[in-house]
């Protein structure tokens, strides 16, 4: 119970830190006159994914790669199968064409790249693992994604409504222009809370797994993954409630790309990782959810309630399989 309490406190601190960081970074962007597209593609995606980054770096430093793997892959699965499903069940989501033509195909490409790089037994006949070279390859793909996305966004900024949509923070408010002291307090405080929350989460998750006899990777795929994905859920629900449904979808898809290419790429660059037991299935499930998004998005360019329900059923089936595993 003590470890579980530590885990829950760590997740709460992570969420608070992510909220502060998003608010501070959004206010800073507004103060500097940065275009909304830059804030949406970088600040919001980075801010809502920072809990995953901090947890993974803490896990890598502590030498527990299973928590890191479970956190990234589990977050990507939960973002689509749980968070996007909940948002679609509450508010049918109209998806802008730019998300269909740019972000979802990139997410599918990133997922396939992770499968190819991680499953060495299928491609090279060796053990399944992510090497430093694999991590650098993922980081390179992330750089290409940023270059392509931001360049394309800036070219279409004046003509594409998607790129002029106001940014919705996790708190659902537009942050007014703030003083320099307030900006520093928001950004600095958010980072401090994220660092502390990440350490508490990893300690609590490891202690809980050991005390309950649960493999670390299962804890990472469930408790840690869903907990660190809560900022994405808050942002998407608020965006959908305000009628900005394309931003709700873009936030989740963009966060998944960030998680896989940047966070996991950085993690395995720092600490090469063997694929945990059952990790092959986890990677394939993650890729399956990414692939399922494309036909759903292409069908009248919206995610209906029944499609959200279908994603939720798929996620429940995956959780059931984890419990049996």
- Asked if the model's pLDDT at residue 171 lies above 70, the reply is no
Tell me: domain 2-324, CATH 3.90.70.10, correct? no
- Asked if the model's pLDDT at residue 6 lies above 90, the reply is no
For position 111, what pLDDT does the model report?
Answer: 94
Length of the chain: 325
- Mean pLDDT for 93-101 is 74
CA distance 216 to 278: 12
- Asked if the model's pLDDT at residue 36 lies above 80, the reply is no
Which residues on adjacent β-strands are paired with residue 129?
Answer: 274
For position 317, what pLDDT does the model report?
Answer: 93
Q: If pLDDT is split at 50, 70 and 90, which confidence band does 37 have?
A: very low
User: 192-225: buried (b, 16+ CB within 10 Å) or exposed (e) per residue?
Assistant: ebbbbbbbbbbbbbbbbbeeeeebbbbbbbbbbb
Measured at the CA of 288, the angle between CA 153 and CA 290, to 5 degrees, comes to 15
Q: Is 111 exposed, middle or buried (0-12, 13-18, 19+ CB in 10 A)?
A: buried
CA distance 196 to 58: 10
For position 262, what pLDDT does the model report?
Answer: 93
- Asked if the model's pLDDT at residue 311 lies above 60, the reply is yes
Q: Is 27 exposed, middle or buried (0-12, 13-18, 19+ CB in 10 A)?
A: buried
Within 13 Å and on the Cβ side, how many CA atoms surround 272? Answer: 11
Query: What are the tens digits of pLDDT across the range 18-35?
Result: 777 767 766 766 666 655
Q: Which of 203-217, 223-237, 296-310 has the highest mean pLDDT?
A: 296-310
Measured at the CA of 239, the angle between CA 233 and CA 240, to 5 degrees, comes to 90
Q: If pLDDT is split at 50, 70 and 90, which confidence band does 77 have?
A: very high
Query: Residues 66, 214: contact at Cβ < 8 Å?
Result: no
For position 170, what pLDDT does the model report?
Answer: 47
Termini Cα distance of the chain:
23
Domain ranges of the chain: 2-324
Query: What are the tens digits of pLDDT across the range 220-276?
Result: 778 777 777 777 777 677 667 767 666 677 778 888 999 999 999 999 998 888 888
For position 156, what pLDDT does the model report?
Answer: 55
* Cα dist from 253 to 9, 67, 105, 188, 263, whole Å: 27, 22, 10, 27, 15
Mean per-residue pLDDT over the chain, rounded:
78
For position 236, what pLDDT does the model report?
Answer: 73
- Mean pLDDT for 148-174 is 56
């Amino acid at each position: 119970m003590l470890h579980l309490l530590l885990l829950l406190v760590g997740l709460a601190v992570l969420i608070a830190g992510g909220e502060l960081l998003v608010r501070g970074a959004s206010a800073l962007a507004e103060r500097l006159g940065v275009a909304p597209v830059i804030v949406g593609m970088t600040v919001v995606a980075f801010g809502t994914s920072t809990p995953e980054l901090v947890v993974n770096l803490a896990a890598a430093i502590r030498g527990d790669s299973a928590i890191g793997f479970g956190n990234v892959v589990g977050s990507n699965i939960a973002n689509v199968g749980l968070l996007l499903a909940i948002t679609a069940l509450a508010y049918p989501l109209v998806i802008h064409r730019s998300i269909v033509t740019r972000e979802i195909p990139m997410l599918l490409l990133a997922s396939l790249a992770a499968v190819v790089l991680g499953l060495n037994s299928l491609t090279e006949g060796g053990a399944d693992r992510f090497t430093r070279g694999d991590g650098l390859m993922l980081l390179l793909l992330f750089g290409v994604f940023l270059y392509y996305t931001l360049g394309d966004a800036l070219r279409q900024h004046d003509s594409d409504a998607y790129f002029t949509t106001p940014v919705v923070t996790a708190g659902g408010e537009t942050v007014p222009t703030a003083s320099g002291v307030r900006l520093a307090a928001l950004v600095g405080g958010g980072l401090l809370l994220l660092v502390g929350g990440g350490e508490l989460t990893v300690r609590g998750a490891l202690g809980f797994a050991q005390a309950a006899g649960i493999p670390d990777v299962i804890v990472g795929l469930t408790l840690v993954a869903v907990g660190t994905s809560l900022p994405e859920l808050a942002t998407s629900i608020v965006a959908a409630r305000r009628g900005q449904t394309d931003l709700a979808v873009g936030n989740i898809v963009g966060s998944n790309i960030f998680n896989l290419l940047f966070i996991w790429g950085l993690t395995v660059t720092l600490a090469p990782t063997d694929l945990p037991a059952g990790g092959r299935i986890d990677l394939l499930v993650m890729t399956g959810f990414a692939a399922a998004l494309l036909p759903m998005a292409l069908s009248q360019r919206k995610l209906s309630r029944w499609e959200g329900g279908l994603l939720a059923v798929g996620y429940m089936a995956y959780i059931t399989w984890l419990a049996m595993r």
